Amino acid sequence: MIKWQRKDLVGLEDLSKEEIELILSTAESFKEVSARAIKKVPALRGKTVVNLFYEPSTRTRVSFEVAAKRLSADVINISTETSSVKKGETLIDTGKNIQALNADIIVIRHNSSGAAAMLARNVDISVVNAGDGWHEHPTQALLDIFTLKEKLGRIKGLNVSIVGDIAHSRVARSNIWGLTKLGAKVTVCAPKVLIPPGIEEMGVVVTDNIDEALKKADAVNILRMQFERDEGTAFPEQLEYFKAFGVTRERLQKAKKDIVVMHPGPLNRGVEISSEVADGTNSVILEQVTNGIAVRMAVLFLVAQGRDKK
Amino acid sequence: MEFKEKAKIMDKEAMERALMRIAHEIIEKNKGIKDLALIGIRNRGAYLAERIATCIEKIEKGKVLTGILDITLYRDDLTHASEQPLVRKTEIDFDISDKKIILVDDVLYTGRTARCALDALVDFGRPKYIQLAVLIDRGHRELPVRADYIGKNVPTSLKEAVQVRLEEVDGKDEVVILEQGG
């Protein structure tokens, strides 16, 4: 087994297959902690985790907060709505101020791609990327992969389809990096306008036919249509999207019987997924939420031990 | 640090006899196997707990609960451990509350592992009591900890290391003393 060396987790693009597997196996051990009567271990006792969120997020922030608390760390939440960022402080200055408070880990969510990496380069403490622009959302992909592995026992050789707004999705990008490194065959499916040019170079198959994407898939990861990012051009109407790409019971009947249905949330019922599918027996959507805690505990634990710290 | 093998202090037969004796002692001290559960500390303690449980079951013709405890997350040297520890699963599939718990480990040395294990265990519930069984007690305690059942007392120097090797992990059953070379 390899050792974890990094002080940061910025994205899955940088990680080796072995590093991803180490996070997954560590997460497996952490899952049991959340099933105990006393859901807490002292591993990060005395450490401070700062959640620095420049974008609205409830589930990811809460998941990180629960993970940190189950490791006995102290957690501070900074939302930029109510912080000095409003007064014009730069990201690096904010990071250095957090470091000056003797915090140990910053969990950052930012609307600019590359923000986490830039922060990581400029502070000595650990940085965990909780989503940066359209770039990466590594812990989401790790929990998707963890859930998939738990359900199907392996990743290698699986056919995984990612359906939805691929162009604007950091979840898609992180999933593609992670899944292909572990040997899965990935298909992305979206309206042509939402497929970024050159995506094939990441080693994926591209289609704009949802039935095609579902046909051979062992699992489908349905992304949320991010209508709040709509700038009035590329996005189809909600109903139109549902008709053409929505994952419904009728469409699943043509897929493998035990296809695993995933969604990173929040759900737009009747847009990218029907209620019957979201609540159906193939859905692992709520298990993803539970697994997210174990995965984030593993990530916080590992970066806290990162050996490349100055 | 280079270690070389100095002496073999226990072979397969001696280990079997020691574990069987510990099994008898556990039954005697606890007046049977009612509410008894053996919890082994990863890694080798887990296998030893299984073996002692098998011995007890042979003698008493009844089932004994067993579990596995990983104490990594409770270590007091986690932040400055030179070797990054690997976190593995704790597997205790029963409620330990009001149980008579026998904690099992291969070597008792500083007592720090036992302390971690006690911290970890009380997070799972409130046992009736906890006793400690070890295959080897090598001395040099740094905490006020003692074992209730001991396979063999082995006086050692701080330059030496005691290695318990088990069929399940190492391919053979034996206990050896290693000494720092050079």
If you average pLDDT over residues A153-169, what whole number do you get?
96
**Cis, peptide link before residue B127, omega less than 30° from 0:** no
Amino acid at A214: L
* Tens digit of each residue's pLDDT (9 = 90 or more) over A177-188: 999 999 999 999
Selected catalytic residue, list A6, A47, A70, A109 = A109
Minimum-distance CB partner of A301 among B87, B89, B90 = B87
What Rg, from alpha-carbon coordinates, does chain B have? Answer: 16
Low-confidence winner among A36-40, B116-120, B129-133 (lowest mean pLDDT)? A36-40
**In total, how many domains does chain A have?**
2
In a domain, B165, yes or no: no
Domain span at residue B140 reads 16-75+88-160
Same domain (yes/no): A154, A221: yes
A114: alpha, beta or left, given left = phi > 0 and alpha = psi -120 to 50?
left
Selected catalytic residue, list A47, A61, A70, A137 = A137
| C-alpha to C-alpha distance for A210 and A115, rounded to whole angstroms | 33
| C-alpha to C-alpha distance for A125 and A90, rounded to whole angstroms | 17
* Tens digit of each residue's pLDDT (9 = 90 or more) over B77-107: 776 655 667 888 899 999 999 999 999 999 9
Does residue A121 contact residue A179 with C-beta atoms inside 8 Å?
A: no
| C-alpha to C-alpha distance for B100 and B124, rounded to whole angstroms | 14
Q: What is the token pair recorded at A244?
A: 């053409």
Q: Does the beta-carbon distance from A30 to B87 stay under 8 Å?
A: yes
Domain span at residue A125 reads 17-136+292-304
Q: Given a cut of 50, is residue A310 above it in pLDDT?
A: no
- Collapsed DSSP state (helix, strand, coil) of residue A108: strand
In a domain, A1, yes or no: no
* Tens digit of each residue's pLDDT (9 = 90 or more) over B19-57: 999 999 999 999 999 999 999 999 999 999 999 999 999
Minimum-distance CB partner of B124 among A3, A36, A42 = A36
Same domain (yes/no): A261, A285: yes
Give chain B positions within 8 Å (CB) of A30. 87
Give chain A positions within 8 Å (CB) of B74. 41-43
Closest CA to B108 of B44, B58, B166: B44
* Tens digit of each residue's pLDDT (9 = 90 or more) over A201-244: 999 999 999 999 999 999 999 999 877 666 665 566 888 899 99
Instruction: Please say if A135 is a catalytic residue.
Output: no
Does residue A290 contact residue A39 with C-beta atoms inside 8 Å?
A: no
In a domain, B181, yes or no: no
In a domain, B102, yes or no: yes
Q: Does the beta-carbon distance from B87 to A29 stay under 8 Å?
A: yes
In a domain, A268, yes or no: yes
Query: Cα A148 vs. chain centroid, distance in angstroms?
Result: 13
In a domain, B172, yes or no: no
CB burial class (10 A; 0-12, 13-18, 19+) of residue B117? buried
Does residue B114 contact residue B84 with C-beta atoms inside 8 Å?
A: no
**In total, how many domains does chain B have?**
1
Instruction: Please say if A61 is a catalytic residue.
Output: no
In a domain, B35, yes or no: yes
Same domain (yes/no): A253, A160: yes
Same domain (yes/no): A258, A297: no
In a domain, B179, yes or no: no
Same domain (yes/no): A270, A300: no
Same domain (yes/no): A142, A128: no
| Residue of A4, A25, A33, A41 to mutate, testing the B interface (most B Cβ within 10 Å of its Cβ) | A41
Same domain (yes/no): A33, A110: yes
Grade residue B149 by pLDDT with cuts at 50, 70 and 90: very high
Does residue A33 contact residue A26 with C-beta atoms inside 8 Å?
A: no
Instruction: Please say if A109 is a catalytic residue.
Output: yes
pLDDT at B76: 75
Low-confidence winner among A28-37, B58-67, B100-109 (lowest mean pLDDT)? A28-37
Low-confidence winner among A6-10, A91-95, A188-192, A238-242 (lowest mean pLDDT)? A238-242
* Residue in chain B nearest A36 by alpha carbon: B124
Instruction: Please say if A224 is a catalytic residue.
Output: no
Q: How many CB atoms lie within 10 A of CB A133?
A: 16
DSSP codes of every residue in B14-60: HHHHHHHHHHHHHHHHTTSSTTEEEEEETTHHHHHHHHHHHHHHHHH
Task: Give the gap in angstroms from C-alpha B82 to the nearest C-alpha of chain A.
Answer: 10
β-strand partners of A52: A78, A108
Q: Given a cut of 90, is residue A37 above it in pLDDT?
A: no
* Tens digit of each residue's pLDDT (9 = 90 or more) over A126-141: 999 999 999 999 999 9
B interface with A, Cβ–Cβ < 8 A, is 70, 72-74, 78-79, 84, 86-91, 119-120, 123-125
In a domain, B21, yes or no: yes
Domain of residue A247, CATH code: 3.40.50.1370
In a domain, B45, yes or no: yes
| C-alpha to C-alpha distance for A8 and A31, rounded to whole angstroms | 22
Same domain (yes/no): A128, A143: no
Give chain A positions within 8 Å (CB) of B90. 29, 32
Same domain (yes/no): A162, A94: no
Same domain (yes/no): A143, A234: yes
Same domain (yes/no): A165, A63: no
Same domain (yes/no): A128, A197: no
What percent of chain A lies above the pLDDT cut of 70? 95
Closest CA to B133 of B91, B114, B105, B166: B105
Phi, psi values for residue A119, rounded to 5°: -60, -45
* Tens digit of each residue's pLDDT (9 = 90 or more) over A45-82: 999 999 999 998 889 999 999 999 999 999 999 988 76
In a domain, A11, yes or no: no
Q: Mean pLDDT in chain A?
A: 93
* Residue in chain B nearest A39 by alpha carbon: B123
Domain of residue B47, CATH code: 3.40.50.2020
User: Which residues are within 8 A (CB) of A16 and not within 5 positions of it... i.e. 6 or more apart?
Assistant: A2, A181
User: Which residues are within 8 A (CB) of A5 and not within 5 positions of it... i.e. 6 or more apart?
Assistant: A306, A307, A308
